[in-house]
Amino acid sequence: MVQETFFSKIIRREITADILYQDNLVTAFRDISPQAPSHILIVTNQCIPTINDIKPEHEAALGRMIISASLIAKKEKIAQDGYRLIINCNHNAGQEVYHIHMHLLGGCLLGPLLAR
């Protein structure tokens, strides 16, 4: 059984968030603890805990995450200079909310992804 998440409440608009995009498959909103000038979370409307839990029927929602990231990056005016998309899976990767979400980060030089 999938647990209710904080993101589920944002999707249903029970919790206030700065929502930038929403359709029947995904919702995108600003992160409340931004790590870059533009830090947006794009979440699947259906609660899928991790990448490991993806099934073939989730393909449309996952594709929509990428398409919406591109649209949002253009609206945020970060597409030209570049941005980073990150999806963490489970504890060792740093996943804190067990509801698939993608971080869209940009608006500054982000540097290397991992410490060398």
CA distances from 49 to 7, 73, 77 (A): 11, 25, 31
Buried b (16+ CB within 10 A) or exposed e, 101-111: bbbbbbbeeee
Q: Which one is catalytic: 39, 58, 101, 103?
A: 101
pLDDT at 112: 87
**What are the start-end ranges of the H helices in 1-116?**
6-11, 59-75
101 is annotated as an active-site residue: yes
Model pLDDT for residues 5-37, shown as the tens digit of each residue: 999 999 999 999 999 999 999 999 999 999 999
pLDDT at 108: 96
pLDDT at 2: 67
Band (pLDDT 50/70/90 cuts) for residue 1 is low
Domains, the chain, with CATH or none: 6-106 (3.30.428.10)
pLDDT at 65: 98
Is pLDDT of 47 > 90?
A: yes
- 80 against 115, higher pLDDT: 80
Q: What's this model's pTM, rounded to 2 decimal places? A: 0.94
